[in-house]
Structure 1
Amino acid sequence: MNDVRIPSTATATPVRRGIPAVLAGVIAVVLTAVTLVLAPGAGTSAQAAGSWTSETIAGMNVRLYVPTTAPAIADGRALMVNLHGCVQTNADLQGAGNWQATADDYGMVVAVPAAPGGGVIAGCWDYYDANHSRSNPARHDDNLLALVDALLARSALGLDADQVYLSGLSSGGGETMVMGCLAPDVFAGIGINAGPTVGTTSSQISTVSTTKAAATSTCTGFAGSHTAGFDTQLTSVVHGNDDYTVNTGYNRLNAEVMAGLYGATATSPVTMSTLPGTSTNGSGTVWSDAEGPRVSLLTNTGLGHNWPAGGGPGGRYIKASSIDYPRYVTSFFFAHNRRVSGTTTGTPTPTPTPTPTPTPTPTPTPTTAPGPVDCWTTTNATHESAGRAVSYGSHPYNPFYALGSQDYLGQGNTTVTSVRETSAGVYRKVSVC
């Protein structure tokens, strides 16, 4: 069981400026249409290695998960900041967001802040309009940057500044896009879940009310002198086809805006059945540049205006029957991060390493000698055809994952990896057979 510690957090920050009346009206409609179910307590896992704490950082109550497992990349631990939606709370995401297992697997710290001062209304983040800056104390942006700075300064956490990620639902998704535009040098990856596009107003959630050109201009304007950060940033967008709160057209627009900023023009489909989660039906697209994937868009069939937890108890605007988005977005960021100098633990070199014999040794089928019969060293494509791995996208940019464990095996059909079957149908990546 987790040791869930929730110390008193009596300190409060002043409430931010008032929200426009029209947004208050929209939220009132949502409140009357949705049964508010308080999320159960913190999630548990038989393999839980870390613990949740609660403290005040940068003027916000922050639920912080720190694993004791080793970081997956040798450079240090990744940091994932996760933003709740309106009406929802950070306690909801702590208890039912399904972050813990993924955080343990990747050795990743997860920070779930509450919108400062209770949010603009009903807990909303103030994503809207175009007057965002890194230092404006009247907005939420400076609090989030201060949170990242404060956690990076804690040497005991061992965080790597090149592995700072941000994700969020609804107003938290809109704020995630704002921050990705405002500070592309800070956030190596952003995960936008049903968020309105940058530059829109609080009254425009039900209709797509901007264009790719306008949003691109707003985004680059937010970045100012930091536009070079777009050269290495990643974006993941996810939403449900049953979302009737935020217009679903914003999701493709968000993906297209970021792909345009990144110069990612090649597209390939996502094989949804290979994704982690309890209900993965839907469709997806990956945008790539010459070096590999940069932007991912997933549409999950049957998902409404919810955080797609893909497991756990479910809760307020959290759906358990969905893609496991915490695991998906984390694996997408770890697999394609352009800023890290290290490599994921156990990840092989990009090209096969033949044995130093005078003549090549052909391997038309998976070889196990001299290793045990439950371990194989061969190409990712062969692993997939043998039912030991899954992939999505197109060669050479298609990432592979070991079946059952979702261990990342690198990208490309010809990459050679070793996997061991640890139990029936569960394969784990190993350094050597």
Structure 2
Amino acid sequence: MNFPRLQGMTEALRLTQAGQLNDATQLLQQLCQGQAATGPRDATVRPRRVIDLARALPKAIASGVVSPGPAAPRATVFNGTAARPANSPMPAGAAFHALTYSGPTGTRAYRLYVPASYRGAAVPLIVMLHGCTQSPEDFATGTGMNVLAEAEGCLVAYPAQPASANPQKCWNWFNANDQQRDQGEPAILAGLTRQIMRDYAVDARRVYVAGLSAGGAAAAILGAVYPDLYAAIGVHSGLACGAARDMPSAFAAMRQGGAAPSRAAAGQRTPPAIVFHADRDGTVHPRNGDQVLAQFGAGLGMKPERQDGQVPGGHRYTISRYRNGQGEPQLEHWLIQGGGHAWAGGHAPGSYTDPRGPDASREILRFFLQHRMA
């Protein structure tokens, strides 16, 4: 038995469990090249706080880990406008309810924000899916979506993925059973959405879903398998539906992009989609953002209209907009230059946010509200 190699693998596993994924990857590369198991050059490096989809998978295949993106700087500019308060008190009359949904395929707790302006008239509903290790409360704080929804008069739901369903609280986007209509987690989330539509006055033409990372991948799945329920989707740092079918292919998809995405069947509605991804995302390769676009229609005779911009004191970005055959906006792709694996324009009190913008929450909500089901 090669004891130095065994010791090296043990050390790589320890680094992975500690969150030091760059060091673990470097060590594994050395071992594969036959170098001595000397360990990382700096064993005192502090673990990075990244959303790591791979940590939700068994450590036995930890040799497929991907490196985290660069740490997100903390700043207070949002797409050229003054920073909006993330933790401002709720307006009088608003509520943030703690609720539960139970259905044939499972149960999930969720939080529901009801704006002060809600009086029983039909309003839009936005479903927000958190990333790995996050909670609904954390995601609401980091995205600031409740503040925007208050101004626009929208309901916002935040389903919670429990550790009993995934040890790192990731949505199980890589399981084939969780990519099907009326099965697994898609059925749970669709059922939760419909429960809110029954209990509150919701405009059925204006129901939307967005998510970050594993939540973004889950949002893409919901858009693909429930195009009759969600009027539009938002995918931030996520993957296309079907990008992986098991754990090994999940690692491959995160590292280099998934399998060629399937498109909607002929005659099936394709929901409009807005995609955010950073070009230095080391956890979910930016190629996955392109694959989400392809899944929802990019390349089918649509030529992008491109626009470059920069947040004052923050990131540069490129927007690619696609119009359908009727000239209506169908897709938007925001590629953030220099950003990592974090919610763009988010608030520092929430986890996995990059306050240097651009403001993903504001742009996703703007995109959603210009689309409604026919």
| TM-score (structure 2 length as normaliser) | 0.70
Are the structure 2 counterparts of residues 191 and 24 from structure 1 closer, same or farther at C-alpha, using a change threshold of 3 Å? farther
In the TM superposition, what is the alpha-carbon distance from 1:318 to its structure 2 partner? Answer: 1.9
Spell out, residue by residue over 1:337-368, the C-alpha distance to the aligned partner (whole angstroms, 9 max, x if none): 353xxxxxxxxxxxxxxxxxxxxxxxxxxxxx
Residue 267 of structure 1 deviates from its aligned partner by 1.7
AA paired with 1:192? V
**Amino acid paired to 2:207:** V
Q: CA deviation at 1:302?
A: 3.3
Match of 1:202, SS? Answer: helix
Aligned partner of 2:140 in structure 1 is 94
Alpha-carbon distance, 1:322 to partner: 1.2
Report 1:13-412 matches (<5 A).
Answer: 20-21=57-58, 25=62, 43-44=87-88, 50-58=94-102, 59-69=107-117, 76-116=122-162, 118-131=164-177, 132-136=179-183, 139-154=184-199, 157-199=200-242, 200=244, 201-204=249-252, 205-211=254-260, 215-217=261-263, 220=265, 228-230=268-270, 233-260=271-298, 265-273=302-310, 279=314, 281-291=316-326, 292-308=328-344, 310-339=345-374
d(CA) in 1 for partners of 2:121, 2:231: 14
Q: Matched residue of 1:143: which SS?
A: helix
Unaligned 5+ runs, structure 2? 1-54, 73-84
Per-residue deviation, residues 376-429 of structure 1 (Å, max 9, x unmatched)? xxxxxxxxxxxxxxxxxxxxxxxxxxxxxxxxxxxxxxxxxxxxxxxxxxxxxx
**Counterparts of 2:140 and 2:323 in 1: how far apart (Å)?**
33
Q: Is the contact between residue 315 and residue 339 of structure 2 (CA under 8 Å) also seen in structure 1?
A: no
Structure 1 CA distance, aligned partners of 2:187 and 2:267?
18
- On the 8 A contact 2:240/2:295 being kept in 1, the answer is no
Q: Distance in 2 between matches of 1:338 and 1:114?
A: 26
Higher relative contact order (CA 8 A, sep 6+): 2
CA contact (8 A) 1:236 1:295 kept: yes
RMSD over aligned Cα atoms: 3.4
Answer yes or no: is the 8 Å Cα contact 1:85–1:168 preserved in 2: yes
CA deviations over 1:136-183 (Å, ceiling 9, x no partner): 2xx3111101101100001xx311111110001111111111111010
The percent of aligned pairs where both chains have the same amino acid is 23
How much has 1:56 moved relative to structure 2? Answer: 1.9
Q: Deviation per CA, 1:62-118, whole angstroms, max 9, x where unpaired? A: 1211102269xx982111111111122222112222112210121111111111454
User: Match for residue 9 of structure 2?
Assistant: none
Return the offset for 1:53. Answer: 2.1
Contact 1:286 1:293 in 2 (8 A): yes
Residue 24 of structure 1 deviates from its aligned partner by 7.4
Q: Distance in 1 between matches of 2:329 and 2:292?
A: 16
1:247-295 Cα deviation digits (max 9, x unpaired): 111111211221249x56132113535x8x9845211101101331100
Distance in 1 separating the partners of 2:267 and 2:60: 31
- Structure 2 contact 240–288 (Cα < 8 Å) conserved: yes
Report the residue type matching 2:291 in the other structure.
L
Give the paired residue count: 297
| Aligned amino acid, residue 226 of structure 2 | A
Unaligned regions of 5+ residues in structure 1, if any?
A: 1-17, 36-40, 221-225, 340-433
Q: Distance in 1 between matches of 2:373 and 2:159?
A: 26
CA distance in 1, matches of 2:362, 2:298: 26
Q: How far does residue 237 in structure 1 lie from its aligned partner after superposition?
A: 0.4
Distance in 2 between residues matched to 1:98 and 1:190, nearest whole Å: 18
Which residue identity is paired with 1:336?
H
Seen in structure 2, the aligned counterparts of structure 1 residues 28 and 210 have a Cα distance that, compared at 3 Å, is: closer
Q: Is the 8 A contact 1:102 1:327 kept in 2?
A: yes
Tell me which moved more, 329-338 or 187-196: 329-338
1:12 alignment counterpart = none
Aligned-partner Cα distance in 2 for 1:69–1:52:
14
Q: Secondary structure at the match of 2:208?
A: strand
CA contact (8 A) 2:217 2:235 kept: yes
**Cα deviation digits, residues 185-221 of structure 1 (max 9, x gap):** 111111011112222232221112322xxx125x54x
Q: What amino acid is aligned across from residue 296 of structure 1 in structure 2? A: E
Whole-Å separation in 2 of the counterparts to 1:175 and 1:20 = 16
Contact 2:97 2:112 in 1 (8 A): yes
- Measure how far apart 1:27 and its partner are: 10
Equivalent residues of 1:43, 1:96 under 8 A apart: no
1:149 is paired with a residue of what secondary structure? helix
Could you tell me which amino acid in structure 2 is paired with residue 141 of structure 1? P
